[in-house]
Amino acid sequence: MRRLTSGGVPGFVARRLLLGIVVLVMVSIVVFAATQALPGDPAQAILGRSATPASLAALRRQLHLDQPVLEQYWSWLSGLLRGNLGSSLAAQEPVTTLLGPKLVNSAVLVAVSAVVSIPLSVAIGCWAALKREKIFD
């Protein structure tokens, strides 16, 4: 059995949380870089071929596409950390208002699945411990 290092459980939890944050930052960088590598102009794709140069410039300014890539990433990340997920271009509403009802539904599903799965998994674990070295274990 593997032992925890000298930091004990709090140190282990702190290291795992820090590792989780590092992974989230790396994933955000990869996803942002992948969207930047897509061919074409996002403003042109949103507004269509009949868009005027003035409307394209205004949308690029609104989406921060006129800034350098690192400033675009920082603008997006700082907005995300402040809880500003931006606005939906399709619905013309803040993304947080669109996600609100869906997050409530997801929370209900998580709670129901936890109520079912946690007691079930504890019971199965206890049964497997009682039947050590048998087929069920």
∠ at Cα 78 (12, 14), nearest 5°? 5
Q: Give residue-wise pLDDT tens across range 42-64.
A: 888 888 889 999 999 998 998 88
pLDDT band at 19 (very low <50, low <70, confident <90, very high): very high
- Over range 70-83, report the average pLDDT: 90
Helix-strand-coil percent breakdown of the chain, rounded to 5? 70, 5, 30
pTM of the model: 0.62
DSSP state of 134: S
* Cα–Cα distance measured from residue 11 to residue 58, given in angstroms and rounded to the nearest whole number: 49
pLDDT for residue 85 is more than 80: yes
pLDDT at 1: 47
